[in-house]
Amino acid sequence: MTEAPLVAGVELGGTKCICILARGPDAIEDRVQLPTTRPEETLSAIEAVLERWRGFSALGIASFGPVSIDPHAHDYGHITSTPKPGWANQDVGERLRRFAGVPTGFHTDVVGAALAEARWGAAKGLEDIAYATVGTGIGVGLIAGGRPVDGLTHSEFGHLRPVRFPGDDWIGTCPFHGACLEGLAAGPALKARTGVSGDQWAADEPAWDMVAHALGQLLHALVLTGVPRRIVMGGGVMVGTDHLFPRVRAAMTKSLGGYVALPEVADADTFVVPPALGGNAGPLGAIVLGAQALEAQLQASFTTR
């Protein structure tokens, strides 16, 4: 069996950055965590790590967003309209590609997590999945045929406007849409609604029903894309809140109303699952992005001979 290539991966998050040198989850050679501060300070620190690791075959970058993923766009590889101070319109992907000098894959952190969970984690063996993160924000990575579902830009399912829970007219927290999914069910929304962070809510807190209802609408929408054979749900709101998964599954099933009569969807316990890779999902996803970029370059070289 051919040994997997040695790839450098960068998961750039809003508060921390994880750099990883690996061939896969069982062959991690180094892992470095850095704080995400000002762009120049953070990117220079990443470059210092990459310089120390010289000799890797490819680089993958899984970044917080929104980001530009169209390779033909003038701002490809940039973080775009983020509210994070100093990071709007910041070149990340192309800068690190030029520095590393190897084939480089670039996408969102949630797509990275989806790729990793599909290859090694809770959706292993499935090429068509969705990974939904519910934490500080809500985001979804869609994978079809083992690759990100791409087009004009990446998906923004967290900003769908859901059917509201009966009697709930709370305005939500999203500065753009108010009561979109993120404005109703992300971590900051939970705290804004009750004055207490979600990790302090009791299991019988009535507001959980409203959160589960909103997230059920998210899963409803994902099922109707026709893509995922499994949905993995991670992030700080979902992970460690065991009682939330049954409620969200039930909300999805009720919302669909039997419309998608497929056994995979009907078995909600195996269709909607927690992640298996934990904190390594994003960094390992960057490894997959790098390996895919290397594969694409090798194929292009072969076809032009």
pLDDT on residue 153: 81
Q: Got the DSSP string for 28-78?
A: EEEEEEEE--SHHHHHHHHHHHHHHTTT-SEEEEEE-SSB---TTSTTTTB
pLDDT on residue 83: 76
Percent of the chain surpassing pLDDT 70:
98
**Alpha carbons 284 and 242: distance in angstroms, whole number:** 25
| pTM exceeding the 0.85 threshold for the entire prediction | yes
Q: Which tokens in the block code for residue 130?
A: 């969705």
Flag whether pLDDT at 167 surpasses 90.
yes
Is residue 81 very low, low, confident or very high in pLDDT (cuts 50, 70, 90)? confident
Average pLDDT over residues 167-191: 95
Q: Which of 158-162, 170-174, 260-264, 297-301 has the lowest mean pLDDT?
A: 297-301
Q: Is 13 exposed, middle or buried (0-12, 13-18, 19+ CB in 10 A)?
A: middle
Distances 147 to 83, 130, 242, 279 between C-alpha atoms, Å: 28, 11, 30, 21
Q: pLDDT tens digit string along 260-281?
A: 999 999 999 999 999 999 888 9
| Residue 68, C-beta contacts closer than 8 angstroms, at least 6 positions apart | 75, 76, 77, 78, 80, 153
Flag whether pLDDT at 304 surpasses 70.
no
Distances 199 to 187, 193, 205, 215 between C-alpha atoms, Å: 9, 13, 11, 17
pLDDT on residue 223: 98
Percent of the chain surpassing pLDDT 90:
83
pLDDT on residue 249: 98
pLDDT on residue 270: 97
Is residue 14 very low, low, confident or very high in pLDDT (cuts 50, 70, 90)? confident
Flag whether pLDDT at 82 surpasses 90.
no
pLDDT on residue 157: 95
